[in-house]
Chains A and B, each alone.
Chain A
Amino acid sequence: MHRSIWRTWLPVIALAACGTETDQRPRSVQYITEAILAPNCGNAQCHSSFRNAFGYAFDTVEKSRQSLMGSLIGGITLNTRDEPQGDGETSFLYSVLTRSVRRMPYDQPLADADIDLIVRWIDFGAPGAQCNREADGPMVCVGRKVVECKASFDYGAVIEDCAVTGKNCSMGACR
């Protein structure tokens, strides 16, 4: 118990003046939401479930996932090793956070390090916000490949490459 307390509070005392570590924060939709988007964007008056400004809410992981998937983070593709990847710096979310006009968050700018983490999360394939099994079904099309959509909102295994048979992928199947 005492050891646990010290593990929690000792870093506070030691690092109260300034952080020293490199940014190794988790690149997960849970962390991005709860540590960055909820306190900065998900305020009661703005993108909260309470207000839902412009149809976006970032104060819970579920709402954040719904808001992020699609237009905000852009398409998540597969690289040559069939690993999910995105392009953070061309995403609409990055544009919204960095542009000079109508920039968000409106009431106080986001820290550069937080924006960098969001960009790297999208570059890494936006884990936790790649696909929606309930909305899209158990299989989704990524390019011309049929890919499993896991309950964790992540891509799973590649089931079929439609290009091999000269077909296109549509609605989770080669057609």
Chain B
Amino acid sequence: MTGLMRGLMTGLMTGLMHGALRMARSPAWLAVLVFAAVAALAGAAEAYPQFQLSRDRTCTGCHISPAGGNLLNENGESTSETIAMIDHPGAFLYGALPLPSWLTLGGDLRGSTGYIQTPEKVLATFPMQIEAYANVRLPVGFSIQVHGGTRPPTMENAATPGKNFLWSREHYLMWRTSPGTPTGLFVRAGRFMPVFGLRYAEHPMYTRRFGGTPLWGETYGGAVELVMESIEVHATGFIEDPLIEPVRHAKGGALYAELRVTDSFSIGGGGMLEIGEDDQKRRGTVTVKKYLSGPDLLFQAEVQVMNQRIDPIGAPVQLIGNLVMSRNLSGGFLLDVGIGHFDTNIRIRDLDRDALDVNLHWFTTSHIELIFNGRFEMLAFGKGGDSHAYALLQAHYRL
């Protein structure tokens, strides 16, 4: 472990120095490169599936949404205190602003800085996320959840100037059978991300980027979701967003189920169909999670197969997979080491990508997280094209 960390830090520092020297020699490109890096690596807060099984059994154990992510419930706030190095109140604004029982507020601010090599070597600093959330509980199990924040503006789109900087990534009406408990039947209608596979916060992970839940892939739809201690099932139907230029150009549906066989082992599977104007994507996924309590190690694996029907001809079959090992360390640290594989067309040689991901989260307080995100990626183990890497330091503040 120590050797690995030393190697990563050495690589990071060397990269930072090289990047800084290069940038000093070519300052004219700075604006373009920073812009491009912002564009490529911007993000949004999602759940931490690393905590499932190792901390709680269900996403709803800590989050209000049955999909996890964003707003925390009381148990989630308590967990944020427990895992942090410094024990501060986990409530909204550290509890300084008492909220009525029917209202939950939150938000996320993220920014990142670091070194990117693709293969050009650059340094970049950029904001990732400025977003606020509200959940209003209504009688008889209903609630309304709304997220609002900034988005990258659509360039050269004078037709929709009002939608260019601010947007609501998610907004939905939810009904649940058992408010106040993590389990039950959930029904949602509105704009949200269909639940499918493992839902990492890190959107460059292959199973997210290429796997049916890409960044800002939220769209309008309806979902019926059953979350129990031993099993959860999410069925979602969705349409292409008719109000803005969407990220997901398709209508369709997703079904994902996860069976927790024991307290420390779960297996899941599902399918997704996306019907677009130009193509159809049919996905199947299998997920496995295993928690080893002795060494406090969580293994998560997902393999997706995607068959894309391109009109008028073409049907590449893709293979998408991630294996991630997570371990809670002392002092509020959480280490993820993962490998990813993405083959964009299994019939064609040298189109596969393999990535080594290292994420070191440091939960300094219940509201502040510092993250090192590192990746090294090769195309067909160096035979298919240039390799790529990044080493980024990310700051995350949760309201």
Contacts and interface: CB of A to CB of B under 8 A. Distances in A.
B279 A34 contact: yes
Contacts of B278: 30, 33-34, 60-61
Contact of A46 (B39, B116, B308, B388): B39
B155 to A, nearest CB: 5
Contacts of B215: 43-45
A25 B316 CA distance: 9
Nearest to A51: B152
A163 interface: no
Interface stretch (B7-15, B28-36, B142-150, B190-198): B28-36
A53 interface: yes
A35 B310 contact: yes
B268 to A, nearest CB: 19
B35 to A, nearest CB: 8
Contact of A45 (B40, B246, B317): B40
B245 A50 contact: yes
A39 interface: yes
B308 A52 contact: no
Given A50-B154, A51-B39, A44 B310 contact: no
B40 to A, nearest CB: 3
B346 A43 contact: no
A59 interface: yes
Given A28-B312, A35-B316, A103-B120, A113 B349 contact: yes
A151 B351 CA distance: 33
Interface in B107-162: 116, 118-120, 152, 154-157
Contact of B317 (A12, A49, A113): A12
A101 B385 contact: no
A20 interface: yes
A19 B348 contact: yes
A108 B155 contact: no
Contacts of A19: 343, 345-352
A30 B40 contact: no
Nearest to B215: A44
B307 interface: yes
B319 A12 contact: yes
Contacts of A43: 40, 209, 214-215
A141 to B, nearest CB: 28
Interface string B78-119: 000000000000000000000000000000000000001011
B160 to A, nearest CB: 11
A136 to B, nearest CB: 21
Contact of B246 (A18, A31, A50, A52): A50
Nearest to B153: A51
B353 interface: yes
Nearest to B305: A12
A44 B155 CA distance: 12
Interface in B311-343: 311-314, 316-317, 319, 343
B42 A45 contact: yes
Contacts of A130: none
Given A30-B278, A51-B152, A108 B353 contact: yes
Contact of A15 (B41, B204, B346): B346
Nearest to A46: B39
Nearest to B22: A101
Contacts of A106: 36-37, 39-40, 118
B313 A100 contact: no
B32 A102 contact: yes
A109 B319 contact: no
Contact of A20 (B282, B312, B349): B349
B263 interface: no
Given A8-B307, A44-B214, A48-B247, A31 B119 contact: no
Nearest to B156: A55
A134 interface: no
A31 B314 CA distance: 6
Nearest to B210: A39
A52 B314 contact: no
A16 interface: yes
A104 B112 CA distance: 21
B310 A31 contact: yes
A114 B311 CA distance: 19
Nearest to B152: A51
A54 interface: yes
B323 to A, nearest CB: 15
A52 B245 CA distance: 10
Contacts of A49: 245-246, 249
A45 B39 contact: yes
A53 B39 CA distance: 8
30 contacts: A11-B346, A15-B346, A18-B352, A19-B346, A19-B351, A20-B349, A25-B348, A28-B312, A28-B313, A28-B314, A30-B278, A31-B310, A34-B308, A35-B308, A45-B38, A45-B39, A45-B42, A50-B244, A52-B245, A55-B155, A59-B249, A100-B119, A102-B29, A106-B37, A107-B118, A108-B118, A108-B353, A109-B386, A111-B385, A115-B385
Interface pairs A-B: 3 shortest CB-CB: A107-B40, A49-B245, A106-B36
Given A102-B120, A109-B386, 13 more contacts: A9-B305, A11-B317, A21-B347, A28-B312, A30-B311, A33-B278, A35-B310, A36-B344, A39-B210, A44-B214, A46-B39, A61-B277, A111-B384
